[in-house]
Amino acid sequence: MSFIITLGMSLVMSLTMTAINVGFTEYFLFAWLRSWLVGLLVGFPTAAVIVPLAQKVVIRRDGVIKLKNR
């Protein structure tokens, strides 16, 4: 699940930031794909660490009981 979220978020964020910083020039596609790769390589390990920690914080704070998938 973390990988799918990271894939989608890194795609949209890198596309947006590349369009803002580079514009739609002849180098846009190369710059965007490079930016997306870097975002994916940084984003996935970060999400793998942060998502479980955030879940624990929310569960402790709200007293939520996590149900197992059937």
* 51 within some domain: yes
Q: How many domains does the chain have?
A: 1
Q: Taking Cα atoms as reference points, which of 70, 53, 69 lies closest to residue 61?
A: 53
Question: Which pTM value belongs to this model?
Answer: 0.70
Per residue in 1-54, pLDDT (tens digit) is: 678 888 899 999 999 999 999 999 999 999 999 999 999 999 999 888 888 898
Quote the domain boundaries for residue 18: 2-62
Q: Taking Cα atoms as reference points, which of 9, 27, 7 lies closest to residue 18?
A: 27
Q: Cβ contacts of residue 36 below 8 Å, gap of 6+? A: 10, 11, 14, 15
* 9 within some domain: yes
